[in-house]
Structure formats: structure tokens, C-alpha cells
Amino acid sequence: MKRYSAFAIAREAMRQHMGWEKAWASPEPRPHYDVVIVGAGGHGLATAYYLGRNFGITNVAVLEKGWLGGGNTGRNTTIIRSNYLQDPSAAIYEKARSLYETLSQDLNYNVMFSPRGVMMLAQTHHEVRGYQRTAHANALQGVATEFIGPDRVKELCPIIHIGGPRYPVLGALWQPRGGTARHDAVAWGYARACSAMGMHIIQKCEVTGVRTESGKVTGVTTTRGDIGCGKLGIVVAGHSGVVADMAGFRLPIESVALQALVSEPIKPCMDVVVMANTVHGYMSQSDKGEMVIGGGADGFNNYTQRGSFHHIEETVRALVETFPMISRLKMLRQWGGIVDMTGDRSPILSKTPVEGVFINCGWGTGGFKAIPGSGWGMAELIAKGHSPLTADFGLDRFREGRFVDESVAAGVAH
């Protein structure tokens, strides 16, 4: 794999850019791999990458039924933060956030990480108390956050209206090193690095069955033939329950659609990410000038990847109270993604009842921010059978009542 650099750009400019090689190969599947990862989204690709980088396991295939990064990885709103309440959550999200800091250098691929800061508005007295509690918890966890007053909120985001009649801004939980990254670039960067290590990324390869023998996984059946494996990682977000059913076990999750939209591009007016959980909306401005807007998940189970007018109207109407200027904008496009929700709003990174099968799911609507940390922990779990990052997120916690309750800290769940 050739390294990207300023010198490479200059060299290719002299050659009419005819010397660039493909970012990743498209090989035919082999009959057997040490590890097969189902799902070539951010979490699946990160798992494969850290298997190779941290443990030297490179006989790996990443199978994707569609195209690389075509699921939730390419359908989210790119928010990165780690100011969660519970210790296990803060640990894995802060690991992810810290890895994002140097991810472009590690992958030799610009993921456009922008630590512009994330602000979670407190618009009720209940939220003020909740965020102050989270700020104290984050201080003990070593996560740099603080609770700020309305004047500081206005200073950081001048376009905000802090004196709203129904939902005045009473303060905010502020994480200066949170921010955003380019979602597609994260997937592409991991894919390029995996391919360079000799791993196979196989697109248009749908898994239709999981093969087991005496309670142990032996491989998968796909639309491109049978593929054997020693270990299997299921990392398919909203379709986790479907693939788990193929392996013979059930998951305590439900799948719903999450919708978002972007406005027409405008001049820079907002250089932070703002989440308004009371009105169920959040907003940031992309590098192209679009206002990236999203809200809560649908209130019913479904597998659609479309937006709906009534949900978008509800989200925008709520945000207009806090950001009156957006009432004059036109919507450019809208979309939906399928997210999988657990009862405690925390993920599942776990062994399963089938020996050699591992599951990574349940990130709800906040999976993008966790990609590097999730991949790091999942790779360690697959390679060694245990990881400190994933220890509290096992499937057995639902049977034993050891919930990692993030229903409040998740807020809108971003």
C-alpha cells in the first residue's frame, strides 16, 4: 500500500493522477479464515483492523451484504463524545474519543476529525441537576467535561436563543474535546488499512446461515458460497437479531429507524455541536456549510431506511425554538438508519451461547462515536476471550440484572 502524503499528491498531479492504486482489494472469498466478521461498517472494520494491529491476526474476512459503509456508518450525524454517566460507558467511549484524536495518522487516511466541542443543553431544572451529576462523575472518570452557564453557552454558540418561552437555556454540559469526523472516511480508512494487512473485504456477500457443529461455529453460508471459520464476529447493527437467529440464539434488542436531515449549505455560523435533549433535537454545521439536524428514533419497530415528513417536522419545529434562524432554511435531503436498542441503552459486546461466536450490537443511536473503542475491545475479546473494555457489556447482564443504565446520559442517544 502506497502512503498518502503531500509529496504523493504533487507526484500524481504531474501524472494527471493516473498512478493512484485502489484503496482496497476486492478478492474472491477463500474456503476458510481464522476469523470472519459479518458487517463491513465502522465497527466491523475497526474490529478487523485491531485484530491485525494489536494481535497479528490477519487471516480475516469481513463480509458485507451491500457496499462497504452503506449501513449506519454512512447514515449517522458523526457526533463524537464520551461524557457518559456510568464508568463502563465512559471508559469505552473515552477510549474511542482518544483513538479518534490520532486516527488519521494511524490509518494514513484523513478522517477529518474535528474536536470542535459538544454542548448538551440543560433546558429544565431536572436536566441541570442531571448534567451536574454527570460532570462530577466525569471528573472521577478522567473525562474532561464541565457544566457551564447560559452566558457561556451564548458565547460558544451566538446563534442560539437562550431565553425561549417554553425551553430557556439554563446551562449545558460542555466537552471541549468532543466533536465530529467524516463518517465515510472512517470506514474507508479502516478498510484500506485492513486490505493492506492482507485481510479480505468481500462486498455483495450476504450471510444466509451460520454453520455449527456440537455447539461450536464452523462457518457461514453466503450468497457466494460456504466460508469456514474458527471464530465469527457478528457486527451488523439493526440486523443483529436476524443473524443471531441464524446462529440459534435470541438477543434482547429491538430495531427502530432513526432519521436525520441536512439543510442547504450556508456560510459558517456554528462551530460547535449542540444537543437539545428536552426538545429532542441536535445540530452541527458540516464542512460544506450544511446544517446537520437529527432527533429521536421512531416510536415503533421497523427496518426502514427512509425518512418521514411528520418526524422531520416535529424535530425541526422543536429546534426552531432554540435556533430561530433555521426557520429560513430549505431542507436539502433526509434519510433514515436502522438502529438496535437495548433495555438499558448500552451496547452488547459479548460471547454468545455458541462457542466461537461473538456479538457486537445494541449501540442504539450513538454507535459512530464508539467505533475505534468498540473495535479495540471487540478485537481483544475475540483474540483473548476477555477484554476490560467489554467486561460489563456481556449478554449475561440482562439475566443477572447488572444493567449499565444510560437512558439519561444518552438523552437523544447521541
Q: pLDDT tens, 280-292? A: 889 999 999 999 9
Question: How many whole angstroms separate alpha carbon 381 and alpha carbon 10?
Answer: 42
185 vs 175: CA distance, rounded Å: 23
d(CA 34, CA 241) in angstroms, rounded, equals 24
Task: Output the average pLDDT for the chain.
Answer: 93
The Cα 33–Cα 229 span in angstroms is 5
pLDDT at 115: 96
Cα separation of 54 and 35, whole Å?
15
Least confident residue range of 118-127, 170-179, 336-345, 385-394: 336-345
Query: Do residues 90 and 231 make contact, with C-beta atoms less than 8 angstroms apart?
Result: no
Tens digits of residue pLDDT in 35-68: 999 999 999 999 999 999 999 999 999 999 999 9
pLDDT in tens, 345-382: 999 999 999 999 999 999 988 899 999 999 999 999 99
Tell me the domains of the chain and their CATH numbers: 27-109+182-252+344-400 (3.50.50.60), 122-174+255-341 (3.30.9.10)
Mean pLDDT of 90-103: 97
Q: Is the pLDDT of residue 90 over 60?
A: yes
- Per-residue model confidence (pLDDT) at position 193: 97
d(CA 59, CA 52) in angstroms, rounded, equals 9
Flag the least confident range among 152-156, 222-226, 333-337, 384-388.
333-337
Q: Is the pLDDT of residue 158 over 60?
A: yes
* DSSP helix/strand/coil, 247: helix
| DSSP character at residue 3 | P
CA distance from start to end of the chain: 35
Label residue 413 by pLDDT band (50, 70, 90). Answer: very low
Between 298 and 141, where is the model more confident? 141
Give the pLDDT score at 307: 73
Percent of the chain exceeding pLDDT 70 equals 98
Is 99 a residue whose pLDDT tops 90? yes
For residue 409, the model assigns a pLDDT of 56
Query: Average pLDDT for residues 292-314, to the nearest whole number?
Result: 82
pLDDT digits over 171-181, tens only? 999 999 999 99
Using a pLDDT cut of 90, give the percent of the chain over it. 75
CA separation for the pair 261, 139 (Å, rounded) = 34
CA distance readout (Å), 172 to 165, 167, 213, 275 = 18, 13, 54, 9
- pLDDT tens profile 239-256: 999 999 999 999 999 999
pLDDT over threshold 70, residue 150: yes
pLDDT of residue 410: 54
Neighbours of 299 (CB within 10 A): 8
Contact 162, 169 (CB under 8 A): yes
In which residue are the cell numbers 458565547 written?
155
Residue 408 has pLDDT above 90, yes or no: no
Residue 146 near residue 135, CB atoms below 8 Å: yes
Q: Determine the pLDDT at residue 407.
A: 74
